[in-house]
């Protein structure tokens, strides 16, 4: 009889433990599902804007660095690694100073071979080696984290695209056009919109607000591809650009670096290729 009572109590104890475990697990699963749904919603409705300035000219320091400091935002600069420190290009020390203030440092190739015709003349090994060397140049200067974020120096076609898809974390077409190739397909899932700014054209405040409104209407990720070197990036434009940044903040648009945007979307894209 005593044995039976002990057995009964033991069974009851085990049952309670099992029931507790199951309830707890179910709770955990429900919480995870809710968290997943919430995360999807947050990402679907997020409005992200990134500014990328091409080529790493000293004009970045004169025109955009003051705005980075003033507005406390990130502006990315796409660096041609072999030209750093040559005439009109920032040297590594200046790049470091900009980075410390909030500029993101991206890969814009080593030699900037940009035309489609020139690219097609090159061997695949040549293209791959240049990409790897540019990654090494950026890494050895302390930018390993963003060294494989590639901003095309023009030709986003043929072998360059195929090799980029293997060597780089992502490739972004710097001209702002949408092409039916690797980097577009990859970026399309983020609802990526791209606009060339000051690329041999004048952009008024109305233009800029129009680009921002598109993001307001259809949330996603938008990139402005900028060229601070061009005269179109004038004092007048820079004042409008400041107003556009304020307009973003009023409209709940987050100004982010490329890495921040990729990390933001990357976690949820389980089929990330």
Kindly list the residues in this chain that would bind Zn ion in the complex (CB under 5 A). Answer: 54-55, 153
Min separation Cβ 151 and Zn ion, Å: 8
- Rg, C-alpha atoms of the chain: 25
Min separation Cβ 156 and Zn ion, Å: 12
CB atoms within 10 A of CB 268: 13
Burial class (CB in 10 A: 0-12, 13-18, 19+), 159: middle
Best CA proximity match to 262, nearest among 171, 131, 157? 171
Whichever of 208 and 229 has its CB closer to Zn ion, that residue is 229
Whichever of 152 and 237 has its CB closer to Zn ion, that residue is 152
Instruction: Report the distance separating Cα 99 and Cα 120, nearest Å.
Output: 34
Contacts within 8 Å (CB) and 24+ apart, 170-173: 170/258, 170/262, 172/52, 172/223, 172/225, 172/258
Whichever of 56 and 220 has its CB closer to Zn ion, that residue is 56
Task: Report which DSSP code applies to 107.
Answer: E
> Distances in Å between the alpha carbon of 63 and those of 69, 77, 202, 227, 234?
11, 12, 16, 10, 8
Whichever of 55 and 130 has its CB closer to Zn ion, that residue is 55
Instruction: Report the distance separating Cα 105 and Cα 115, nearest Å.
Output: 23
Task: Report the residue number whose CB is nearest to Zn ion.
Answer: 54
Min separation Cβ 114 and Zn ion, Å: 7
Min separation Cβ 88 and Zn ion, Å: 13
- For 266, the token pair is 């990357």
Whichever of 152 and 265 has its CB closer to Zn ion, that residue is 152
Whichever of 203 and 228 has its CB closer to Zn ion, that residue is 228
Min separation Cβ 223 and Zn ion, Å: 15
Min separation Cβ 176 and Zn ion, Å: 12
């Amino acid at each position: 009889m005593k044995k039976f009572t002990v057995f009964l109590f033991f069974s009851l104890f085990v049952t309670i433990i099992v029931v507790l475990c199951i309830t707890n697990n179910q709770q955990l699963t429900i919480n995870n599902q809710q968290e997943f749904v919430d995360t999807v919603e947050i990402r679907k409705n997020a409005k992200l804007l990134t500014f990328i300035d091409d080529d790493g000219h000293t004009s970045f320091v004169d025109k955009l660095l003051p705005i980075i400091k003033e507005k406390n935002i990130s502006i990315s600069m796409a660096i041609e690694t072999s030209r750093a420190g040559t005439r009109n290009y920032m040297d590594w020390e200046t790049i470091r100073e900009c980075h410390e203030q909030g500029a993101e440092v991206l890969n814009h190739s080593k030699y900037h071979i940009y035309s489609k015709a020139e690219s097609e003349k090159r061997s695949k090994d040549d293209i791959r080696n240049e990409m790897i060397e540019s990654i090494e140049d950026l890494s050895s200067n302390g930018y390993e984290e963003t060294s494989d974020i590639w901003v095309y120096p023009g030709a986003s076609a043929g072998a360059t695209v195929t090799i980029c898809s293997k060597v780089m974390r992502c490739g972004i077409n710097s001209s702002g056009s949408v092409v039916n190739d690797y980097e577009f397909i990859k970026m399309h899932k983020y609802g990526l919109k791209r606009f060339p700014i000051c690329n041999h054209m004048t952009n008024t405040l109305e233009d800029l607000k129009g680009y921002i409104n598109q993001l307001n209407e259809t949330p996603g990720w938008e990139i402005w591809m900028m060229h601070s070197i061009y005269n179109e990036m004038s004092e007048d434009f820079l004042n409008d650009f400041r107003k556009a940044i304020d307009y973003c903040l009023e409209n709940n648009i987050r100004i982010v670096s490329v890495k921040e945007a990729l990390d933001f979307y990357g976690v949820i894209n389980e089929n990330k290729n």
